[in-house]
């Protein structure tokens, strides 16, 4: 499907609640705020946008389908490659980290996916990773953590794996985020072949999980004590959450989620609620472009509607928030990455309503897989290419 550039203007501009997707970044901002950005190759010296002129740089290249990145307190970053490699990047140079699980299957949409540093990394130097765990010809979305010693991941332990392995190799979810209380959120996709799994509380597929940092279940999770539900589940009825952020002041959880043909969503999560997939969807069937086979309605009482539907389709990926003063006109805005759409959508929200949208970097670097605000206040991007890279957005001179 061919998509055209879009800019959606609303009556006025507001500043949304401040969000964050990686609590580790918040912890180290004060330490790193005065640190200059690492050198990078200028890709485009000046790109005009509605409120900010920006510069695009390439910080690192030669990455095979990079999926996620996280920042360490010493100005280094970790980047996952879906093929199964974890790369440590310092001053643009890559060093492969050993010690990853040998039951990882890189096939289809699966492989090594999310990476996230502990929210209090100085005291708890854990690195969290998600991957598609192989069990015969089937896989399961799985969470591990380990400690970085030199170029090796050590003390690796499995914290969670979904209760049921399945095929095909798609819709793994796998985004992670910290809440202000130190709980770990993790998305698990519906796994593609059997969408109604997302309505079954005895199945981890199609859910957002809430865990303690050691993988145990918080005692106040909404389904604790319910024999008919998995206690890890926080919300359900999701297709495939690929962007995840948390408001550090209010505790609101926001996500971007893939629909089928159309129906890509921006959601706010409320404990124990059902977000409708596949009974309720705004999208269509891939093959016929008619009603999705399992869908009964576009909205239904008792199921939570999305805050917003991205039109045209976004194919959501990473989700970030601008909190630094490097981009004063963007401060408080969401930056929603897009895969097939090859763009970032800058989204302005007030009171859980989208008021304004702007398209950024359309087809500048290909499929955008992840978007993060760095501890230096600049915006970092991964592109999902066989020869992919880490890019940085800075204000243009």
Block residue for tokens 């890509």: 264
Tens-digit pLDDT profile for residues 110-121: 999 999 999 999
CB neighbour class for 320 (10 Å; exposed up to 12, middle 13-18, buried from 19): buried
DSSP state of 30: H
Please name which of 225, 165, 224, 161 lies closest in space to residue 197, comparing C-alpha atoms: 165
Whole-number Å distance between alpha carbons of 144 and 130: 6
With 90 as the cut, is the pLDDT of residue 20 above it?
no
Domain holding 334, by residue range, is 23-395
Domain-located, residue 140 = yes
Could you give the residue ranges of the DSSP H alpha helices within the chain? 23-32
Tens-digit pLDDT profile for residues 329-379: 998 899 999 999 999 999 999 888 999 999 999 999 999 999 999 999 999
C-alpha distances (whole Å) from 327 to each of 75, 212, 330, 379 are: 21, 34, 5, 10
Find the Cα–Cα–Cα–Cα dihedral 278, 281, 284, 287, rounded to 10°.
Answer: -10
Tens-digit pLDDT profile for residues 42-56: 999 999 999 999 999
Q: E strands, 265-343, where?
A: 265-269, 308-309, 316-321, 334-338
The pair phi, psi for residue 232, each rounded to 5°, is: -70, -20
Q: Which of 171, 183, 238, 258 is catalytic?
A: 171
As for how many domains the chain has, the answer is 1
User: CATH number for the domain including 326?
Assistant: 2.120.10.30
Whole-number Å distance between alpha carbons of 250 and 118: 21
Average pLDDT of the segment spanning 141-145: 98
Tens-digit pLDDT profile for residues 180-193: 999 999 999 999 99
Domain-located, residue 251 = yes
Whole-number Å distance between alpha carbons of 71 and 40: 17
Whole-number Å distance between alpha carbons of 77 and 70: 6
With 80 as the cut, is the pLDDT of residue 8 above it?
no
- On whether the CB atoms of residues 128 and 183 are closer than 8 A, the answer is no
Whole-number Å distance between alpha carbons of 115 and 153: 12
With 70 as the cut, is the pLDDT of residue 250 above it?
yes
pTM of the model: 0.90
Domain-located, residue 14 = no
Domain-located, residue 4 = no
Domain-located, residue 384 = yes
- On whether the CB atoms of residues 238 and 10 are closer than 8 A, the answer is no
Block residue for tokens 């010809």: 137
Domain-located, residue 5 = no
Is 294 annotated in the active site? no
Domain-located, residue 41 = yes
Domain-located, residue 7 = no
């Amino acid at each position: 499907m061919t998509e055209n550039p879009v800019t959606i203007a609303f009556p006025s501009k507001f500043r949304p609640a401040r969000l964050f997707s990686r609590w580790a970044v918040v912890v180290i901002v004060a330490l790193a705020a005065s640190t200059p950005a690492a050198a990078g190759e200028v890709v485009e010296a000046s790109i005009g946008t509605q409120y900010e002129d920006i510069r695009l740089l390439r910080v690192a290249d030669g990455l095979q389908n990079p999926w996620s990145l996280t920042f360490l307190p010493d100005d280094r970053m970790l980047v996952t490659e879906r093929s199964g490699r974890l790369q440590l990047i310092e001053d643009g140079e890559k060093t492969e980290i050993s010690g990853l699980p040998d039951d990882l299957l890189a096939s289809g949409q699966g492989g090594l996916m999310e990476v996230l540093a502990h929210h209090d990394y100085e005291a708890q130097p854990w690195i969290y990773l998600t991957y598609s765990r192989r069990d015969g010809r089937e896989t399961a979305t799985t969470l591990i953590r380990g400690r970085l010693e030199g170029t090796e991941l050590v003390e690796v332990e499995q914290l969670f794996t979904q209760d049921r392995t399945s095929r095909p190799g798609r819709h793994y979810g796998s985004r992670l985020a910290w809440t202000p209380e130190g709980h770990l959120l993790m998305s698990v996709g519906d796994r593609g072949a059997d969408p109604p799994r997302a309505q079954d509380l005895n199945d981890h597929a199609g859910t957002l999980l809430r865990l303690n940092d050691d993988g145990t279940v918080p005692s106040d999770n909404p389904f604790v004590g319910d024999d008919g539900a998995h206690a890890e589940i926080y919300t359900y009825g999701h297709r495939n959450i690929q962007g995840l952020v948390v408001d550090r002041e209010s505790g609101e959880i926001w996500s971007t989620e893939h629909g089928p043909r159309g129906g890509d969503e921006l959601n706010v999560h409320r404990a124990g609620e059902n977000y409708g997939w596949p009974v309720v969807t705004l999208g269509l069937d891939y093959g016929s472009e008619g009603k999705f086979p399992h869908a009964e309605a576009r909205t239904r009482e008792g199921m939570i509607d999305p805050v917003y539907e991205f039109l045209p389709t976004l194919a959501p990926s990473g989700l970030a928030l601008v909190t630094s003063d490097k981009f004063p006109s963007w401060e408080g805005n969401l930056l929603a990455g897009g895969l097939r759409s090859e763009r970032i959508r800058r989204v302005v929200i007030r009171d859980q309503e989208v008021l304004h949208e702007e398209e950024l970097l359309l087809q500048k670097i290909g499929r955008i897989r992840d978007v993060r605000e760095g501890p230096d206040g600049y915006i970092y991007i991964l592109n999902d290419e066989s020869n992919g890279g880490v890019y940085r957005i800075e204000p243009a001179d």
